[in-house]
Structure 1
Amino acid sequence: MAIRHWPAAERPREKLLAQGPEALSDAELLAIFLRTGVRGRSALDLARELLARFGGLRPLLDAPPAAVCALPGLGPAKYAQLAAALELARRHLQERLRRGEAVTDPAAAARYLAARLRHRPREVFACLFLDARHRLIAYEELFTGTIDGAQVHPREVARRALAHNAAAVIAAHNHPSGVAEPSAADRALTRRLAEALALLEVRLLDHFVVGDGEPCSLAQLGLLP
């Protein structure tokens, strides 16, 4: 049965308007984006099949264009719309961390860093450089590694902090595995970063590990010196 013939309370679009987008499942949100299904399958059926085929929403959104465009019900036009929607979401988060504005909400910084790093297939280490009032100076990706690690040099982070005349730094890196639990190496790196920056009177405010869920804050875990 086509979605338009379902009871209004069960249709994804009507449900979103009545209850808000957070009330919808991944499949329902994807069905709204797809708009139409294919012969014999509704948009919601197709959305569920796509999520099952790729193993979830994140693998689907991270899949290469050719793999997505080749699927029934998608194609280049829908892929372009999906990529544009993702970029709009990232830019929306970036608006809350405009250059020259104070970073007063750690959760906003974490969401922004997650949007920049979560989809990356390799481990990437990045920093937000802040002035004495914690206003954003710059975002930089400093190191890129493999699927399970990146070699990070605290002296290079310190050098970039000096170049920006930064007073504080928020560091972050992703775990492509999706598991945001900090490793022993992550904990040791955090200590080394804090010590190296402290010699320059630059404060390491936090180090986020980005995975599938909420980013893990090493500051909240009490792991910053």
Structure 2
Amino acid sequence: MLPLSPTTIKDVPFSERPREKMVKIGAEQLSNQELLAILLRTGTKNESVLQLSQRVLYDFDGLLMLKEATMEELQKIKGIGLAKALELRAALELGRRIYTFQENEKYVIRSPEDVSRYVMDDMRFLTQEHFVILCLNTKNQVIHRQTLFIGSLNSSIVHPRELFKEALRRSAASVICLHNHPSGDPAPSQEDIDVTKRLMEGGKILGIEVLDHIIIGDRKFTSLKEKGCI
């Protein structure tokens, strides 16, 4: 059961109200509930904005699921209408874009760890398998990132034609393949290995090297090249 909070924001001491606290001590010192309350601005007739933000976090198990919440899911919460749902989705999307923003200088891949750092926070929360390629130039700089397929990895879905069509469009010198395991375990399956070998053979014919295939788990990854699978 959720702990009780004051019925209205006026019942909260002035110095403890989210906006006033943020002015005084900064956003980084506020709780998730208080930050969310600032975005929501108002509560409902029967509860304060702090109670409403507490319910939102409770329903979405904290920030983990709220990060991926849809407009429809947000509006199912009593007190969240279209306007509040739009504002929350906009804030979440803006946060995602800021976090993933890359400066004009292209990201350089020197190791599997570099690949992991580049995609981990985007891919470890995905609930379906996404097959992605990174197109690199001759300096191993990322010039393009493309999600090619969504769904369980198999040789009929991941066709070399689609992968190399994208690589040729970008004039890539080489590519790195990667996909996520929603289970969080990045251990490769035999299908993962077979698909990678097939793609590498296609790359040799076209002169576009497949450097590696990285499997993304939850805060961990597996490089098929480092593991000696390819």
TM-score (norm 2): 0.68
Give 1:109's aligned amino acid: Y
Change (3 A) 1:191 1:141: closer
Give the structure 1 partner of residue 3 of structure 2. none
1:142-153 matched pairs, under 5 angstroms? 142-145=148-151, 149-151=152-154, 153=158
**Mapped partners of 2:87, 2:187: distance in 1:** 37
Post-superposition Cα deviations, 1:104-139, rounded to whole Å, max 9, x if no partner, equal 66565225xx43x56655322112211112333222
**Mapped partners of 2:99, 2:217: distance in 1:** 15
**Mapped partners of 2:24, 2:213: distance in 1:** 37
- Helix, strand or coil: the match of 2:118? helix
1:45-56 matched pairs, under 5 angstroms? 45-56=51-62
Give the structure 2 partner of residue 188 of structure 1. 193
State the structure with more CA Rg. 2
Change (3 A) 1:28 1:70: same
1:1-225 matched pairs, under 5 angstroms? 1=6, 2-3=8-9, 5-6=12-13, 8=15, 11-13=17-19, 14=21, 18=25, 20-21=27-28, 24-96=30-102, 101-103=106-108, 106=115, 109-110=118-119, 114-115=121-122, 117=123, 121-145=127-151, 149-151=152-154, 153=158, 155-156=160-161, 157-175=163-181, 177=182, 179-185=183-189, 188=193, 192=197, 195-196=200-201, 199=204, 200=207, 202-204=209-211, 207-209=214-216, 211=218, 214=219, 216-219=220-223, 222-223=226-227
CA RMSD of aligned residues (A): 3.8
Give 2:106's aligned amino acid: E
Q: How far is the alpha carbon of 1:68 from its aligned partner?
A: 1.7
Q: How far is the alpha carbon of 1:183 from its aligned partner?
A: 3.6
Q: How far is the alpha carbon of 1:86 from its aligned partner?
A: 2.6
Give structure 1 stretches of 5+ with no counterpart. Answer: none
Give structure 2 stretches of 5+ with no counterpart. Answer: 1-5
Contact (CA 8 Å) 2:173, 2:209: kept in 1 or not?
yes
**Mapped partners of 1:219, 1:97: distance in 2:** 26
**Mapped partners of 1:173, 1:97: distance in 2:** 24
**Mapped partners of 1:103, 1:164: distance in 2:** 16
For these two proteins, the number of residue pairs brought into alignment is 211
Q: How far is the alpha carbon of 1:143 from its aligned partner?
A: 0.9
**Mapped partners of 1:51, 1:206: distance in 2:** 36
- Helix, strand or coil: the match of 1:218? strand
Identity %: 28
Contact (CA 8 Å) 2:134, 2:175: kept in 1 or not?
yes
Give 1:69's aligned amino acid: Q
Contact (CA 8 Å) 1:96, 1:108: kept in 2 or not?
no
**Mapped partners of 1:189, 1:47: distance in 2:** 48
Q: How far is the alpha carbon of 1:191 from its aligned partner?
A: 5.4
Give 1:202's aligned amino acid: E
**Mapped partners of 2:165, 2:214: distance in 1:** 18
Q: How far is the alpha carbon of 1:217 from its aligned partner?
A: 2.9
**Mapped partners of 1:154, 1:192: distance in 2:** 12
